[in-house]
Chain A
Amino acid sequence: MHKEIVIRVCMGPGGIAAGGKEVLGSFREHLLKAGIFAKLKEKCSSHQVGCLGLCARDVLVEVHINRNKTVYQYVKPDMVERIVSEHISGGKPVEEWLADDTFKTFYGKQMKIVLADCGKVDPEDINSYIYSGGYEPTREVLTSWIPDDVIDEIKTSGLRGRGGAGFPTGLKWELARRSKSEIKYIICNADEGDPGAFMDRAVIEGNPHSVIEGMIIGAFAIGSNKGYVYIRAEYPLAVERLKIALKQAYERRFLGKNIFNTSFSFDIDIKLGAGAFVCGEETALIASIEGQRGMPRPKPPFPISKGLWQRPTVINNVETLANIPYIIRKGAGWYSSFGTEKSKGTKVFALTGKIRNTGLIEVPMGISLREIIYEIGGGIEGGKALKAVQTGGPSGGCIPASMLDLNVDYESLAKAGSIVGSGGMIVLDEDNCMVNMAKYFIQFTQAESCGKCVPCRVGTKRLLEILERITKGQGRDGDIERLERLCNGVKNTSLCGLGQTAPNPILSTIRYFREEYETHIRDKKCPAKVCKDLLIYSIIEEKCKGCGTCMKACPSGAITGDKKKPHKIDPNKCIRCGACFDVCKFKSVGRD
C-alpha cells in the first residue's frame, strides 16, 4: 500500500526564529537517509509553510500520513531523527512531543479566512496557491464582471479597513472610481508600524499572492493600472517573498499587460519604507513614496481625489486586501454572516505579552475578550492575575480586567476608550505598571512625531515630561488633571492621526487606573514595582545567609557585610538596578 506523507514545517516569523529552517533541513536529510522517498515509493513531500499561528510552541511540525494529521510542538533539529524512524517509518507517533490539549482550544474558537491558507500553501510557489483555488477570483472578475459589480460585492460584504480606522472598503473604492482621472493608483500599506504586532508580516510571508490578488481586483474596480506595496525594510523575509511572488505572478501573466486576455493591464512595484511610524499615515506614506520626508498634510483633499503625484489613490491595508479574493470566491453573503451588525467578518490579532498561547489568531468580529484570553490564549502565564489588555498600540488604549466581557469590534472598543487598530493585542498582568505603559507609548509617539504641527510636536513632549516626573517620584498635585487637559488639547488640534490618537494610552489608563497614578504621585510608590526610582531595596536580616552573592552583583558597591552575617544596603549608594534582588537565591532582598 502506498503511504502518502506530507510534512509541514512552520516557517512563519515564529517558526523561523525558533529554527524552522534547520528543522526542515533535518527532515530532508533524515527522510533521504531512511530512503523513504526512494525505496518505499511513497509520495512524500516536506515543505515550508507560513505561520501556523501558535508561535509560542514553535517550531510546529505537522505530519500527515494518508491525510491523518499529527502535530508536534517545540521541535528541534535533533528530534527529527526519532520522528522519522518511529512515526513516519514505524507508524507510531512520538507521544511525548505531541502538541497538547490547549492546542485544540487555541484553534477551536478561531475562524480563519485571511489566515486559512497560511500554513497550507507554500508561499514561494505560486502553483501551490493556484491549486488551492487562487487567481480564480481574479479571472472571474476580469473576464465576466464590471467594476461596479466588484464595488457592490465588497460593499455588501461589509468589509471595513483593517489598517486601523475601519473605513468601509467598498465605499472607498466607489469614491475613487468616481474620481475623474486618466491615471489612478492603488497602494498596499504594509508599513505595519504598531510596535508589537506582526499580522501583516505573517500574511505577506505566509500567503503573498492573496494580497497581490486583492490589489489586482481593487485596481480593476477603481480603474487603476499601477500599484505599489509600501513595506517596512525591517521585514527582509516578507520583502523577499513578495518579490518572488510578484515575479511568479508576472511569469503567469496575472500581472502585466492584458491580464487573462482582457483589455486590463496592471503593474505592481515595491517601495521600501525607511523606518518611520508616521509613514503609515496615508498622506505621509504618499510623501515617502515620492521620495520626501514622510510628513502628513491636512485632509481634505483626501487621497481618493488627490493622492500620489496628485492623482486619485486608494490606500488599503494588507489584511484588508487579503480578504478580497476570499470574499469574491465565497460571496459577500457568506462573509457578512460572520461578525456583528456593524463589524463584519474576521480580524487577525497578534496575541502577545503575558499570555500562555502567544501567536497569531483570527477571530470573528464581536467575540468577547474573555474568550480570546482564556479559551484561545489559555490564560495568563505563570498563574498571575490579568490586569489589562492593550489594543491598538500607540493609538489605542488599555482595557481593564473587569471589562473582559467586552465584545471585540470597532464600536465596542471605541466606546471603551480603545480601538481595534491594526491588531496588536498585548496582555498585561499584575507585574505591569499602567503609568509605565502610558509613558512607554508616549515615548514612542513623541520620538516618531514628525514635528510638522505644534500640538503633536510640543504636546507629546510635555506629556512625556509629566509622566517621567511622576514615575521618578516627583509627581505634583494636579498632575492627573494637567495630563487630561493637555491630552484633550493634543487630540483635538493635531494635524494627523498620529497626534490625534497619541494621547489615547494616557487617557485610557487614567480612566481605568486613576488610583495607580495617585499612588505614584501622592505616596511615591509603584504598586507593580516597575518604576525604578520609586523602589527601595533592603535586606531582610532574618533571611540573609551572608553568602555575598549580592555584594558581587552590586555594580555600585552599595552592599557591605561580613561572610555568613546579614548584609546591608546603603540607600545612598544604591542605584536601584535590582541586580541583588535578581541574584538572591534566598529571597532575602526586599523591594518596596
Chain B
Amino acid sequence: MNDILLNIIEKYRKKNGNIIFLLQETQEALGYIPKQAIDLFSEELNIAPSRIYGVATFYSQFRLKPTGKNIIVACCGTACHVKGAEKIINGLRKGLELAEDEDTTPDGEFTLEEIACLGTCSFAPVVLVNSAVYGKANINALLKKIGSKRKKSA
C-alpha cells in the first residue's frame, strides 16, 4: 500500500495538487481512505491531519472504511422519494441485516449506500447493484437478486 501512496504523493507534487486530489486518487486506488494514508500524507506533505480529515469528512464521496465486495447504491433523490424509495431502502437494510449505524454487512459482502439522485429519475425508484441500473425497483425482486449473489460467493 505504501508504494501506491508514495506514488500519489509524487503525482501531487508534480501536478501542484490539492487535498481533494490526494483523497480522490487514494480512494480510486484503494477503494477507501485508510488512516495510514492520512498519517503518511500529513507527514510527507506537512499538512495537519485535521485538515485532511476536515476535507475527507466534508464530502460525501469519501469513505473512511473499506466497502463490501458488492456495492448497492439506492437513490433517495426527490423523484425516487415520491415513488417509494424509503420502502426500498428500509427493505434493503432489513434484507441485508444491516446493523443500525452500519452500511456494510459483517461478512463484508455488501455495502449499501444512499445517494441523492442518480440522474435516471424516469425510472424511479432506482437502485444500482455493482453499477448495473435497476429501474422501477421492486424490493422483492431486488432481494432475490442479492440473495443469489450471496449464494454464489458463499
Residues of A in contact with B (beta carbons under 8 Å apart): 13-14, 16-18, 55-56, 58, 192-198, 201-202, 233-235, 272-277, 288, 290-294, 350, 352-354, 358-359, 390, 393, 424, 426, 428, 432, 437, 440-441, 444, 450, 555, 577
Contact = CB atoms under 8 A, between A and B. Distances in A.
Given A16-B133, A195-B78, A291-B17, A274 B24 contact: yes
B9 to A, nearest CB: 15
Contact of B83 (A201, A353, A359, A390): A353
Given A353-B79, A353-B83, A432-B82, A17 B20 contact: no
16 contacts: A14-B120, A195-B76, A195-B78, A195-B116, A196-B117, A198-B119, A234-B115, A274-B23, A274-B61, A274-B62, A291-B17, A294-B59, A353-B78, A390-B78, A393-B78, A440-B81
Contact of B119 (A201, A275, A390, A426): A201
B117 A198 contact: yes
A314 B20 CA distance: 22
Interface in B1-34: 17-21, 23-24
B1 to A, nearest CB: 22
Given A274-B20, A353-B83, A14 B123 contact: yes
A255 B115 CA distance: 35
Nearest to B90: A577
B78 A424 contact: yes
B121 A198 contact: yes
Contacts, number: 116
Nearest to B132: A17
Contacts of B24: 233, 272, 274
A56 B79 contact: no
A273 B81 CA distance: 24
Contact of A194 (B58, B60, B117): B117
Nearest to B135: A17
Given A17-B123, A275-B61, A358-B121, A293 B79 contact: no
Contact of B59 (A274, A353, A426): A274
B133 A352 contact: no
B46 interface: no
Nearest to B59: A274
Contacts of A18: 123, 135
A353 B82 contact: yes
B22 to A, nearest CB: 9
A359 B122 contact: yes
Contacts of B60: 274-276
Given A56-B122, A292-B19, A352-B79, A444 B116 contact: yes
A275 B59 contact: yes
Interface string B62-97: 100000000000001111111100000010001000
Contacts of A288: 20
B124 interface: yes
A390 B82 CA distance: 11
Given A233-B61, A274-B24, A428 B82 contact: yes
A17 B120 contact: yes
The CB with the most chain A CB atoms within 10 A, among B18, B78, B94, B122, is that of B122
A196 B119 CA distance: 7
